[in-house]
Amino acid sequence: MAKPAERSAARLAAVQALYQMDVSGTGVTDALAEFEAHWLGREVEGIKFQPSDTAFFRNILEGVVKDQRAIDVKIDAALAEGWPLARIEAVLRAILRAGGFELMFRKDVPARVVISEYVDVTHGFYDQDEPGLVNAVLDTLARDVRAGELEKKSAGQAKR
């Protein structure tokens, strides 16, 4: 089983690859090949990219591409009215899609972990309101697609 740090690195790499695909029109096969050959676990221009859970990286990237329509519909519903996903900046769009994929299709990963991880990824790119936006949207999405999972833990914590 992969270490949590390797999964965190895979999530960050997936967001970067999704961003690159979005702005350049690169396909998933090319993005996977480039990131696996040149980025994951390597040093590039003095920047050290952490070892990643490659299978998890592939699963997120391929899953977002395969299920993008369904993911986008759910994210649009979670966003404030008048702010469809298409109006959201490309890095945020990549973060929300990757987080949305995990919440919708990786039920083996707890919703709280998914939300926390993608809020952390967001902090790597932004220092204003964006982490709060990602937290709110993914929380709303989690309550929709994993009804009861977040509430169960909250009720248990309240008893402490």
Give the pLDDT confidence score for residue 84 in this predicted structure: 84
The closest alpha carbon to 106, from 76, 61, 140, belongs to 61
Which H helix or E strand runs over 48? strand 47-48
Q: What is the pTM of this model?
A: 0.89
pLDDT digits (tens, 9 = 90+) for 97-153: 999 999 999 999 999 999 999 999 999 999 999 999 999 999 999 999 998 898 765
CA torsion, points 149, 153, 156, 160, in degrees to nearest 10? -170
| Rounded (to 5) percent helix, strand, coil in the chain | 70, 0, 25
Confidence of residue 156 (pLDDT cuts 50, 70, 90): very low
The domain locations on the chain are 4-158
Confidence of residue 47 (pLDDT cuts 50, 70, 90): low
Confidence of residue 157 (pLDDT cuts 50, 70, 90): very low
CATH architecture of 4-158: Orthogonal Bundle (1.10)
User: Whole-angstrom Cα distance, residue 96 to residue 81?
Assistant: 16
pLDDT digits (tens, 9 = 90+) for 61-102: 999 999 999 999 999 999 987 788 888 999 999 999 999 999
